[in-house]
Amino acid sequence: MTYLSTLSETSLLILMLVVSTGLSLLIFFLIQKYCTWLSINDDGIFGTIFANTMPTLVGFVFAFVTVAAWQNYNSVSDTVSKEAHTLFNLYQIMDAYPSETKKAGQEELINYAQAVIDQEWPILNRQQFDLNAFKRLDRIKQIFVGHKPSSLESTAIHNESLSLLSDYTDLRRNRIESAKSFLAKPMWAALIISAALLILFSALFKTKNIRIHAVMIALVGGSLGVMFFLLVIYNNPFWGPSAIEPTPFKKTLESISIIKR
């Protein structure tokens, strides 16, 4: 898995296609050579029904699971963007605080964002968080909680700040909890077994031209390889060649740098 995470999307796709197509052809030739007594030779209505039902059923399962993984990936990506935007809003609202509180709070927010990018992001794929970043966030909370507003206007602003801080804490928690595999091991096992059964089922049919049959098996294997490729890159949002990057946090720091000029 460590090796797969270092591959580019193109390299991973080629690898999945080669492996899935190679295994499909291997199963096909083993069946054709050693299990000829199992060959299906039925040109009637029942043979047509069975030939269409199995691929449709397996294809439906793969399509459903792939779309679900993709939607989960997009949902986590949206959460990361919202988290970074909320952090930027916290930085901006600090302008309404007294100078000492503003200076300390904004400095902590910048250091926290940098810690998330440099220290926390590389370990997210193991569903872990950096203790240093967590402590910095706690110091930010103490700055907000420790402030005592002196007027109705400052009270309203302070309440808004606490609401933003609560929203940010929830978004951060969602990001860390989402840094895991979307598909559990039993689901992976079910998909792999389903793919193997589909190849086995397709290999059992008897055709007049074995070369065309082999090409069809290779196409089925290649299609399964594409499905597994999509599942691999979308399964864990923070792992692999399509892992979600801390780009929104970097843009937040860039925006803060522009404001400070």
Q: Residue 40: beta bridge partners?
A: 205
Average pLDDT over residues 107-129: 89
Residue 23: C-alpha distances to residues 28, 86, 200, 214 (Å) = 8, 48, 11, 12
Interval 88-103: pLDDT, tens = 999 999 998 988 899 9
Block residue for tokens 């007594």: 37
Tokens of 230: 């999509």
pLDDT attached to residue 56: 82
What is the per-residue pLDDT across 3-62, written as a single tens digit (0 to 9) for each? 677 778 899 999 999 999 999 999 988 888 877 665 555 555 555 555 667 778 888 889
Residue 98: helix, strand or coil by DSSP? coil
What is the structure's pLDDT at 229?
Answer: 94
User: CB of 85 within 8 A of CB of 252?
Assistant: yes
Rounded CA gap, 247 and 237, in Å?
14
| Residues 198-252: tens digit of each pLDDT | 898 888 877 778 888 899 999 999 999 999 999 999 998 998 888 999 999 999 9
Predicted confidence at residue 45, as pLDDT, reads 52
- Name the pLDDT band for 171 (thresholds 50, 70, 90): very high
Say if residues 219 and 24 touch (Cβ distance below 8 Å): no
**Cα 16 vs. chain centroid, distance in angstroms?**
18
Inter-residue contact 85 to 248 (CB < 8 Å) = yes
- Phi, psi values for residue 40, rounded to 5°: -100, 120
